[in-house]
Amino acid sequence: MNVVPKPFESKLTGGTTRFSASTRVDCQIDVIKEELGFLDYEEGDANTATFEIGQTDYDYELTIDGNVNVVSATNEGLFHGAMTLKQLIFDGYHEGVADLDNCVIKDKPRFEHRSFMLDIVRHFFDKDVIKSLIDVLALVKMNTLHLHLSDNQGYRVESQAYPVLNEKGNLRKGTRGDGIPVGGYLTKDDVREIVRYAGDRFIDVVPEVDLPGHTLELLVAMPELGCTGEQFELTERYGIDHRILCAGREENYEVIENLLKELAELFPSKYFHLGGDEVPKTQWQNCEKCQSTMKREGLKNEEELQGYFTNRVIKVLKSLDKTPIVWNEALYSNMLDDSAVCQFWSDGRKCLRVRDALKKGRKIIVSRTNPYYIDYPHGMNSLRSAYNFEPTSPFNGDGIENILGVETPLWTEWVADVDKLHRQAFPRVMAVAETGWSTGDKNYKDFEERLYNVLGILEAYEIGYVHPQKANPNPIKAAGQTLKFFINMIDVDAIRSLKNMQNAKKGRKSN
Ligand code: ACM
Ligand code: ZN
């Protein structure tokens, strides 16, 4: 049965059922009818495809036996059933009708959080691109789209609270001196449209405002938010920047509160991502306000100052009824509010701090760079490695029930157009989607065989992808791709960025 992610249980029951223009789709959910009408159908046997709310121990049950019947306790489950049916229809389609193998499928997810992240800062992607990505996420039963909205290179949402963010914090002059301006942001109407489109497909859109590092765009728009008050320009470089938000200036907390309020109103998601990664502390070490705040609050070092800062921002999020998510560095103060979910991307070879947090009950989303960073070339993170990665494997079994799920992030430093975006994302997103959803043993060959059907749907949607063979390059090609990726990253500022990384790590115990 060519379905991705693989259903929990499926059984062929013999014979086939024809899905055609004469199949009456009996369903209260318009978007399901829309999704199932994705091919042109000819007239055929008159039968029905019924979607009904009912009692089941599964997310949904799908029966094909002359008619099609989907039962679920929730509309979300009915939608998931429809996505399975959509794949079966595509697989069985020929000459205007689809012949479906009769079967019974009982399905449910392994993890509650199945997510894809898109960075729309380093390069901007508009609402239509984002909506077409949502189509694919829905098809493979992912339920979260995390949008990285702010970083050193720009602020990517319309702000009425601080229009200066769009005036000054939008257009960077180029990338490493190439003179090609890069800008763009989502209007509030764009966001509403994306959120509605995703919500119709049971996908939550989680905004991320990265704080207190990766905030040059805020300082460009409002220099007073920095430790030095200097006027900067958006950077044309990537990597870690030492220019960060002042944690000692009281008024900054008010600005952050206003920004978060504005975004929380736009994004109805349960979660709100606060960033917290890669925060060099040099400016804080040399700032009177930061230092006097540390003294006043009895904070031992700048790491604790980040903890203090983050907890204050979390308080605002809580008042807005949001659950915070932070990147794993935000744990390192050892004082992070318990409510914050930690997104694990990189925590030293032994992952000791995230392991410890998990053991103590912290909720974790697994996005480890290898193999889940799909901005990396396939030679570094192949489709096969993304598929085979077991998200509990870094943690020795301790507290693994606290793993909420998985996310595959796509950073866009080196992704400037939609074609590249699709080729980086697909089919690796499908591998992570299957890990997030499916239970039981993995078999890459079996996954790849089922995958071609989904890739056919992408072709029908004119969405690009990399052929699975190319997504698993041989060792020589893999080494070449890896070398090229790193050589491309090297410039004088990469060295500065490395220094900043050292500063970000300073004072923390290494593992
Ligand atoms: C990250 O990749 N800096 C979270
Ligand atoms: Zn400061």
- Please give, one letter per residue, the 3-state secondary structure of 134-154: HHHHHHCCCCEEEEECEECCE
Structure token pair of residue 286: 């040399």
Going residue by residue through the chain, which has 511 residues, state the pLDDT in tens, using 9 for 90 and above: 999 999 999 999 999 999 999 999 999 999 999 999 999 999 998 999 999 999 999 999 999 999 999 999 999 999 999 999 999 999 999 999 999 999 999 999 999 999 999 999 999 999 999 999 999 999 999 999 999 999 999 999 999 999 999 999 999 999 988 999 999 999 999 999 999 999 999 999 999 999 999 999 999 999 999 999 999 999 999 999 999 999 999 999 999 999 999 999 999 999 999 999 999 999 999 999 999 999 999 999 999 999 999 999 999 999 999 999 999 999 999 999 999 999 999 999 899 999 999 999 999 999 999 999 999 999 999 999 999 999 999 998 889 999 999 999 999 999 999 999 999 999 999 999 999 999 999 999 999 999 999 999 999 999 999 999 999 999 999 999 999 998 888 876 677 767 777 776 764 543 3
> What's the gap in Å between 317 CA and the centre of ligand 2?
22
Cβ pair 386, 346 in contact under 8 A: no
Residue nearest ligand 1's atom 3 by CA: 277
Name all residues whose Cβ lies below 6 A of ligand 1.
Answer: 277-278, 327, 345
Buried-exposed string 140-161: b where 16+ CB fall within 10 A, e elsewhere: bbbbbbbbbbbbbbbbbbbbee
Q: Domain 9-107: state its class.
A: alpha beta
Which value, in Å, is the radius of gyration of the alpha carbons in the chain?
24
Q: What single-letter DSSP state applies at residue 390?
A: -
> What's the gap in Å between 275 CA and the centre of ligand 1?
8
CA distance linking residue 7 with residue 167, whole number of Å: 48
User: Which of the ligands is closest to the CA of residue 247?
Assistant: 2
Model pTM above 0.85: yes
> What's the gap in Å between 292 CA and the centre of ligand 2?
9
**Which element (helix H / strand E) includes 296?**
helix 288-297
> What's the gap in Å between 205 CA and the centre of ligand 1?
19
**Res 509: pLDDT:** 43
Of 346, 366, 374, 413, best ligand 1 pocket probe by most atoms within 8 Å of the beta carbon: 346
CA distance linking residue 367 with residue 241, whole number of Å: 23
Quick one: which atom of ligand 1 is closest to the CA of 214? Answer: 3
Torsion on CA atoms 475, 480, 481, 485, rounded to nearest 10: 140
Residue nearest ligand 1's atom 1 by CA: 277
Structure token pair of residue 44: 């055929």
Of 117, 215, 241, 278, best ligand 1 pocket probe by most atoms within 8 Å of the beta carbon: 278
Cβ pair 151, 217 in contact under 8 A: yes
Domains in the chain: boundaries? 9-107, 113-439+447-505
**CATH H superfamily, domain 113-439+447-505:** Glycosidases (3.20.20.80)
- Please give, one letter per residue, the 3-state secondary structure of 343-386: EECCCCCCCHHHHHHHHCCCCEEECCHHHHCCCCCCCCCCHHHH
**Res 508: pLDDT:** 54
For 251, what's the count of Cα atoms within 13 Å in the CB-facing half-sphere?
6
Identity (one letter) of the amino acid at 151?
D
> What's the gap in Å between 246 CA and the centre of ligand 2?
4
Query: Distance of CA 166 to CAs 71, 259, 480, Å?
Result: 47, 13, 40
Q: Which of 68, 63, 62 is nearest to 46 (CA)?
A: 68
Cβ count within 10 A of residue 318: 14
User: Which of the ligands is closest to the CA of residue 285?
Assistant: 2
Quick one: which atom of ligand 1 is closest to the CA of 327? Answer: 4
User: Which of the ligands is closest to the CA of residue 226?
Assistant: 2
Helices (H) and strands (E) in the chain, counts: 18, 17
Residue nearest ligand 1's atom 2 by CA: 345
Cβ pair 182, 171 in contact under 8 A: yes
**Res 506: pLDDT:** 62
Quick one: which atom of ligand 1 is closest to the CA of 369? Answer: 2
User: Which of the ligands is closest to the CA of residue 117?
Assistant: 1
